[in-house]
Amino acid sequence: MNPPEAARAQRTKKRTRIQQANEEKILDAALDVFSTYGFRGATIDQIAERAGMTKPNLLYYFRRKEDIYRAILEHTLDDWLGPLTHLGEGEEPLAELKAYIDRKLELSRDRPKASRLFALEILQGAPVIGDILAGPLKALVDEKAEVIRRWIAEGRIAPVDPHHLVFTIWATTQHYADFDVQVRAVLGAEPSETAHFDRAARTLEELILGGLRPRPD
């Protein structure tokens, strides 16, 4: 845990429900502000105004703009990696991978701003969360790659590169958040429409899972 995280944890370890609600309010407001103005263009004042609170009140929860930004990215990673942590706990590999694809698409549908902000951080070289990518994220993906290798060795799925399978799932599912405007323009879908996510799920399941089904010798 780095110093800003440690300070915030110490300050909020006995948070009341109101404090927890305020922290979530700040993060929701900050996501809107960062998504609109980017990290450099966003200010603490804008975030406080969007959250409906005073700047001193906001600074009780987060000391710096950087701490808010990192917290949003950490929350996004927690949401995305949560389903991946359970991969390998079930009995049927294809069913587990299907569930993972579906959950990732749900996150793209329900939290597109978070996905786009994360993508922007990566495009900039991950200056804020590079340590997480090279540390906890890499460790988790390496662990699940071993699960996939075991499935391959047992003949339960076709031989593929485990890391690139994970990258493929990430790329195809997050595309529907990061390139939402392009997807809707091509499909002629209105901003409120979500039916194309169901069609996307069926298509990705067929493409990815179809390619993973064991092949006869």
Per-residue model confidence as pLDDT tens digits over 8-63: 444 445 568 888 889 999 999 999 999 888 888 999 999 999 999 999 999 999 99
CB 206, CB 212: distance < 8 Å: no
Q: What is the pLDDT of residues 62-113, one digit of tens each?
A: 999 999 999 999 998 888 888 899 999 888 999 999 999 999 999 999 999 9
For CA atoms 168, 172, 177, 180, the dihedral sign is: positive
Question: What residue ranges define each of the domains in the chain, with the CATH number in brackets?
Answer: 15-63 (1.10.10.60), 66-212 (1.10.357.10)
